[in-house]
Amino acid sequence: MKFKYISDYNKLIGLSTQGECRICNHNTSCFNEVCYRCYQEQESLKNCPEEFRDLYTVARPDEIRKQLKLINPDWNDEKIDQIARKRDHEIEHGTPLINGYQSFQWPCIDGDYAEFIAYGCKPFYNTISKDGKKAFETSVHEEVKDCLYEEYWEERVPDEVIHSSNDTNYATLFFVFKSLHSDKIVTYIDSM
């Protein structure tokens, strides 16, 4: 399985398992209890039944437009809206939900949604930088930056490689996203 914003789906989340889809009740491969066909068929998140909304990946329409405008000051609103709508749709209907503790809006970088590439851990940040602690702190999404404190890296970031959200007993998960257009990364912190 390959998705634009999670290209290594099998490694990061694992093959989907057979089960009953909560929307169409078919027994088929499901992502978080919703089959892929139902993900794609919903016209927009607004049209999807209220009780299923927490099963959907959530876009950041305002942020995408703001970033696109900033990067392309000469583009008119129509062009920005056209591109942004395509990207919002790809996130909401073409990207399976990442299993975490809280639902969150998918991070965007460089005017596009970023690709989920890894679970954050010390080995990961130490590989991408000589100063892993600094690389981690710099990458933390502004929405969750408030939780950082001086010893956070030492005390909370896992020492070993985390392969999937299921093989960890940690009360905090670190989702690493990388821009599709540059080397920039963002870490989203998800706590129980």
For binding to Zn ion (CB under 5 A), which residues are involved?
A: 21, 23-24, 35, 38
| Residues in a beta bridge with 116 | 177
Residue 23 CB, nearest approach to Zn ion (Å): 5
CB 5 within 8 A of CB 115: yes
Residue 61 CB, nearest approach to Zn ion (Å): 25
Residue 25 CB, nearest approach to Zn ion (Å): 7
When the beta carbons of 55 and 121 are compared against Zn ion, the nearer one is: 55
When the beta carbons of 32 and 168 are compared against Zn ion, the nearer one is: 32
**CA–CA dist 48, 152 (Å, integer):** 38
Query: 184 CB contacts (<8 Å, ≥6 apart)?
Result: 109, 110, 114, 178
When the beta carbons of 36 and 104 are compared against Zn ion, the nearer one is: 36
CB 49 within 8 A of CB 95: no
When the beta carbons of 7 and 32 are compared against Zn ion, the nearer one is: 32
**CA–CA dist 98, 175 (Å, integer):** 9
